[in-house]
C-alpha cells in the first residue's frame, strides 16, 4: 500500500454541460464558495482553492463544515469538475472527542460503555461524511447549474 491509501481527503467528479463556459467556471465556483463562508478562496487558472478555519461565520449546517480545505479543478475538454476536500480536521476532532469520552468512561469504572466507543467514532466521522459529501456534491451541482446565467451577465462568452 502506498501513502495515498490512508489519505484524509475525498475526491469526486461532477460533470457539466456544454453550454457552460469553462473559462469562467472557476471564478463562479470561487464566488459560490465565498457565499458559503469559506475562510479563504483563491482562483488559479482552472482551479478554485478554499480553506475553512475551525471558528468562522456560518452555522453548523453550513455545507463546508466537515472540510478543512479543498480545491475544485475544471477540466474543459472532459467537461468535468474534479473536487478534493480534506476531512483531516473532522477525523482529528472526532478522535479527540471520543478520546475524552473514553477517559471519563475509564474513570467511572463501568466498562460496558467501552463497547460504544468505536460506534461513537464511526457515528461522528461516518455520519458527518454520509451527510456532508452528498451535500457538498449537491452544492457544486447547484453552483455549476447557475453558471450559465452568471457567465452571460458578467459579459463572458456564452
pTM of the predicted model as reported, rounded to 2 decimal places: 0.82
Q: Is residue 104 situated within a structural domain?
A: no
Which set of grid coordinates corresponds to residue 38?
469559506
Containing domain of residue 140, as a range? 3-88+135-153
Report yes or no on 29 lying in a domain.
Answer: yes
Domain presence at residue 101: no
Asked whether 117 and 103 are in contact (CB, 8 A), the reply is no
Residue with cell 463501568: 110
Domain containing residue 51: CATH number? 3.30.310.50
Residue 86's beta-bridge partner residues?
9
In sequence order, the 6+-apart residues with CB closer than 8 A to the CB of 153 are none
pLDDT tens track, the chain, 158 positions: 444 445 899 999 999 998 898 999 999 999 999 999 999 999 999 999 999 987 656 666 789 999 999 999 999 999 999 999 999 999 999 999 999 988 888 888 787 778 889 999 999 999 999 999 999 999 999 999 998 644 445 555 44
Buried b (16+ CB within 10 A) or exposed e, 106-133: eeeeeeeeeeeeeeebeebbeebbeebb
DSSP letter (8 states) at residue 39: S
120 found inside a domain: no
Amino acid at each position: 500500500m502506498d501513502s495515498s491509501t490512508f489519505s484524509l481527503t475525498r475526491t469526486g467528479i461532477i460533470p457539466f454541460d456544454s453550454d457552460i463556459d469553462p473559462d469562467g467556471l472557476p471564478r463562479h465556483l470561487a464566488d459560490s464558495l465565498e457565499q458559503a463562508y469559506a475562510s479563504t478562496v483563491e482562483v488559479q487558472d482552472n482551479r478554485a482553492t478554499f480553506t475553512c478555519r475551525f471558528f468562522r461565520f456560518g452555522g453548523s449546517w453550513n455545507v463546508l463544515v466537515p472540510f478543512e480545505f479543498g480545491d475544485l479543478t475544471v477540466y474543459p475538454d472532459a467537461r468535468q469538475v474534479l473536487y478534493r476536500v480534506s476531512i483531516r480536521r473532522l477525523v482529528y476532532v472526532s478522535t479527540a472527542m471520543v478520546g475524552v469520552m473514553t477517559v471519563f468512561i475509564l474513570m467511572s469504572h463501568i466498562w460496558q460503555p467501552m463497547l460504544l466507543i468505536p460506534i461513537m467514532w464511526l457515528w461522528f466521522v461516518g455520519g458527518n461524511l454520509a451527510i456532508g459529501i452528498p451535500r457538498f456534491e449537491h452544492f457544486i451541482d447547484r453552483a455549476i447549474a447557475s453558471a450559465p446565467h452568471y457567465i452571460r451577465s458578467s459579459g463572458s462568452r456564452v
